[in-house]
Amino acid sequence: MSIKAEEISALIKQQLANYQDELTVDEVGTVTYVGDGIARANGLDNALSGELLEFADGTYGMAQNLESNDVGIVILGAYKGIREGDTIKRTGRIMEVPVGEELIGRVVNPLGQPIDGLGDVKTTKTRPIEKKAPGVMERQSVSEPLQTGLKAIDALVPIGRGQRELVIGDRKTGKTSVAIDTILNQRDQNMICIYVAIGQKESTVRTQVETLRKYGAMDYTIVVSAGPSSPAPLLWLAPYAGAAMGEEFMYNGKHVLIVYDDLSKQADAYRELSLILRRPPGREAYPGDVFYLHSRLLERAAKLSDELGGGSMTALPFIETKAGDVSAYIPTNVISITDGQIFLDSDNFYSGVRPAIDAGTSVSRVGGSAQIKAMKKVAGTLRLDLASYHELESFAQFGSDLDEATQAKLNRGRRTVEVLKQPLHKPLPVERQVVILYALTHGYLDGVLVDDILNFQDQLFEFIESNHNEIFADIASSGQLPEGSKLDDVIKEFAETFQSSVR
């Protein structure tokens, strides 16, 4: 078989026509130090702060310190395969995480990689973990309530969609339980929840995930977990990764609840990183920008204006105190950034008042604008009642001769404390909360034994559900108390048939 010269020349011409002269230039440096989750490299003169850098073994790092002779890099992942003298190159990208509906129901690490054994997350969307918070004109004031299902919070320290409400307290005072119950109560509320576990034991996170799954809450929840064995950079990045995932929904007009459990551990991880990177330490050895660490995160929670779709992201940051000291550095920082705080008191917790919310110290700076009108009416005097009860209680133990008015206040106070108690993982719809608080503030519980209050409450709900269910439906739909004396008549009718179970 002979080969014709014309065929060869035609083939060469075709190849030359398709040839593209592509020149790729990679800016490459050399690793000069590696250890404790950080690396240093020289030769990366044009690296940007926050840029992703790729090591020779495929591990990624993030440029943090840009110094005259080298770059300080935090390593995102295991660093055992990295050696001094290895090459490292710029990627030209900033740190991003996968986002989108596909993450719902999954447990991922701060890089968006699944850690629940359910296979890959099939999403192509990503978002940068650091994003400028919405400006003043891009927001609107908080007006929609976010119902937690906990009477003590919804009545005394209401939370609105787009608010940042700090949950603060000592270790083992029920902070995580408040978050889990709030997430459980978002079922059928058109709310996507993100639970960010920072430095929580992996067995604890597993228990929380199983609880959420048991009550069907994983259908609308994403869990981001950075365990205590994770490198410090991942603990530091976890809340930002969660915020980026939440923003994807918020900017699409949806409502998001994000829980950061807890930011004390994030601050500790950031302090560790900063000290290893030789940044100058400040108060309690935290770096000077530890306030900015939390403010730029929490400011991303917002209620967006109608022009931007009216979506919202509500943040519940957690801070762990030591011996109830809210005047320490990190607690005072976060208190000044948030729109109020829910303080959990260890004395309340161990005396059986759970959730252990201290009504005197807790405050919501959004207040009544995050409550339905019915709740505003029944809860108006609760805080004052509780404050005067606690004041009288401390005096009453010194003397037994109390006048009738004082005795009546003490009796009402004891019943108020009892009504605000709530079993674990049993959040109450707002219409039921309104009914029992109405019964309390209008004196219908004054004759009921304190030990029988919760029994009275359960039976009252059953009675209304069976005989007068329109009351619940009316409060839920209109947000108002039923007209006239309808509610009074129903509670009186029930009170006459109520049988005490306490002997």
| Residue 137 φ/ψ, nearest 5 degrees | -80, -10
Separation in Å, CA 496 to CA 314, 388, 458, 491, 502: 43, 30, 15, 9, 16
pLDDT value at residue 503: 43
Give residue 70's pLDDT. 93
Of 256, 249, 251, nearest to 138 by C-alpha is 251
Closest C-alpha to 277, from 114, 433, 64, 127: 64
Q: What is the pLDDT of residue 23?
A: 61
Report the distance separating Cα 181 and Cα 164, nearest Å. Answer: 17
Specify the pLDDT at position 7. Answer: 77
What pLDDT is stored for residue 501 in this prediction? 61
The pLDDT of residue 22 is: 64
Tell me how long the chain is: 503
- Answer yes or no: 412 catalytic: no
Over the chain (503 residues), the average pLDDT of each successive run of 10 is 74 77 77 92 91 92 92 89 93 93 96 94 93 95 94 95 96 95 95 97 96 97 96 94 97 97 95 93 94 96 96 97 93 96 94 91 87 91 84 74 82 92 94 95 91 94 93 92 90 86 53
**Residue 94: which H helix or E strand, with range?**
strand 87-94
What is the pLDDT, as a whole number, of residue 8? 81
Among 164, 365, 412, 432, the active-site one is 365
Pairwise CA distance, residues 433 & 466, whole Å: 17
Please provide the DSSP assignment of 249-288 as one string.
Answer: HHTTT-EEEEEEETHHHHHHHHHHHHHHTTPPB-GGG-BT
